[in-house]
């Protein structure tokens, strides 16, 4: 998966299209990410044991293909490329400016 926790992404599709946010959770097995403040939904908490009910807003996971990583160097929504160094570590780099994206490093 090309988007990881800690990345800043731009939303490409849907009601949050064009907005930017921080990836707070990445789920590689499901190809999904949770982006701070994006794809919100309201959840009703039922009253229980003397506590009043309430409505909270939560982020719903979205498919990674709905978002693009923003390069910290060129500040644009970019395509991620991979580069492997001499030690065999795999890095994500910006396809435009070739700068390395922020950690975490993707292990082989």
Which token pair is 100?
Answer: 């390395």
Distance CA 106, CA 1 (A): 9
**3-state class of 65 per DSSP?**
helix
**Measured from the CB of residue 71, what is the shortest distance to Zn ion in angstroms?**
3
Distance CA 108, CA 91 (A): 10
6-65 residues near Zn ion, rule: CB under 5 A: none
**Measured from the CB of residue 42, what is the shortest distance to Zn ion in angstroms?**
36
**Mask 62-101, x = binds Zn ion (CB under 5 A)?**
---------x-xx-------------------x-xx----
Distance CA 98, CA 37 (A): 29
Question: Total residues at the site for Zn ion (CB under 5 A)?
Answer: 6
H-only helix segments in 21-94:
none
Q: Which is nearer to Zn ion, 45 or 74 (CB)?
A: 74
Site residues (vs Zn ion, CB under 5 A): 71, 73-74, 94, 96-97
């Amino acid at each position: 998966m090309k988007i990881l926790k800690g990345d800043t992404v731009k939303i490409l599709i849907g009601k949050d299209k064009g907005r930017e946010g921080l990836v707070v959770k990445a789920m590689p097995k499901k190809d999904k990410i949770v982006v701070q403040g994006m794809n919100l939904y309201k959840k009703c908490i039922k009253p229980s044991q003397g506590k009043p009910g309430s409505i909270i807003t939560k982020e719903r996971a979205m498919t990674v293909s709905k978002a693009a990583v923003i390069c910290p160097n060129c500040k644009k929504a970019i395509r991620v490329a991979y580069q492997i160094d001499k030690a065999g570590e795999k890095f994500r780099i910006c396809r435009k400016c070739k700068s390395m994206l922020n950690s975490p490093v993707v292990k082989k």
